[in-house]
Amino acid sequence: MDPIVARNRTDLIKARGDGSVALVPTMGALHEGHRSLIRAARSRADHVVVSIFVNPLQFGPGEDFSRYPRTFEADLEVCRAEGVEVVFAPAAEDMYHPDRQVSLRSGEMGRVVEGAVRPGHFDGMLTVVLKLFNLVQPDLAVFGQKDAQQLALIRRMVADLDVPVEIVGAPTVREPDGLALSSRNRYLSPADREVALALSRALRAGAAESVPSRVIAAAREVLEAAAPELALDYVVLVDPATFAEVAEPYTGEAVLAVAGRVGTTRLIDNAVLSF
């Protein structure tokens, strides 16, 4: 069956059936990573809603908002193939009233690591996610571990603001050679793609070490070998819940997070390690 395409709150209310609802928020240009989230949603709820919205609020000046891939017809086909009941694809004008005043602040946790490179990004992300929760009113929502800091911040928002939605994290889907799937991968030339592989290779090199400082050093060595074609933004080992950098000695889980630019394409990746 074709998914119902909802453009606004009224459409969403009309499309609502009985039973539990799982929401998968996306910016479209759907790939196998998104499909795995849709399947995780499918296995946990009676109805799946996929939102497709390139959120202007989470892009900074000079970032790729205008050239972000928009492939709505192909996305609809993916949703149809996955048996998605509702695709929520609002227009930016309907999401953001010109008079709006109130938005969310992600706090210190949103200013470190990815937030330090993209000021305001996580404030914009949390604002749209809370709006999507309020519009769709899902029982649960599925997010990828690929965007580990985003997932941690959404969990934090739900806890801090008592948002009645269960948050489910889903593992990162990769190409056979290790490259994490991303809507932005389509911008990579074959040569760029080779360079981009340094990110996942660095994660594997880090994961082979057992002490935080050596984890970082091993990952950094791989990333620096890919310079200058890979312009490194960061390589950090952080607490999965707070994104504060871990200090030695450390026991427990930590996220090894890397980010860099290949040409004009910015890529991020991470791995969860245990100490």
Positions annotated as catalytic residues are 34
Q: Which two tokens stand for residue 53?
A: 């919205």
Single-letter amino acid, residue 134: N
Please tell me whether residue 34 binds ligand AMP under the rule CB under 6 A.
Answer: yes
Name which position in 106, 127, 149, 183 contacts ligand AMP (CB under 6 A).
Answer: 183
Which part of the chain contacts ligand AMP (CB under 6 A), choosing from 33-41, 70-78, 104-112, 229-237? 33-41
Please tell me whether residue 59 binds ligand AMP under the rule CB under 6 A.
Answer: no
Q: Which is nearer to ligand AMP, 169 or 212 (CB)?
A: 169
Q: Which is nearer to ligand AMP, 81 or 211 (CB)?
A: 81
Name which position in 115, 120, 144, 240 contacts ligand AMP (CB under 6 A).
Answer: 144
Give the nearest distance from C-beta 28 to ligand AMP in angstroms: 6
Name which position in 75, 85, 114, 147 contacts ligand AMP (CB under 6 A).
Answer: 147
The span from the CA of 60 to the CA of 149, in Å, is 17
The span from the CA of 274 to the CA of 263, in Å, is 33
Q: Which two tokens stand for residue 216?
A: 């970082």
Task: Give CA angle at 142 (174, 71), nearest 5°.
Answer: 65
Name which position in 37, 40, 257, 268 contacts ligand AMP (CB under 6 A).
Answer: 37
Do 249 and 228 contact (CB within 8 A), yes or no? no
Q: Cα–chain-centroid distance for residue 112?
A: 16
Q: Cα–chain-centroid distance for residue 155?
A: 13
Burial of 26 (0-12, 13-18, 19+ CB in 10 A): buried
Q: Which is nearer to ligand AMP, 181 or 236 (CB)?
A: 181
- For ligand AMP, what does the binding mask look like between residues 156 and 175, x meaning CB under 6 A? --------------x-xx--
Please tell me whether residue 120 binds ligand AMP under the rule CB under 6 A.
Answer: no
Do 110 and 55 contact (CB within 8 A), yes or no? no
Q: Which residues sit at the interface with ligand AMP, rule CB under 6 A?
A: 26-27, 33-34, 36-37, 143-144, 146-147, 170, 172-173, 180-183
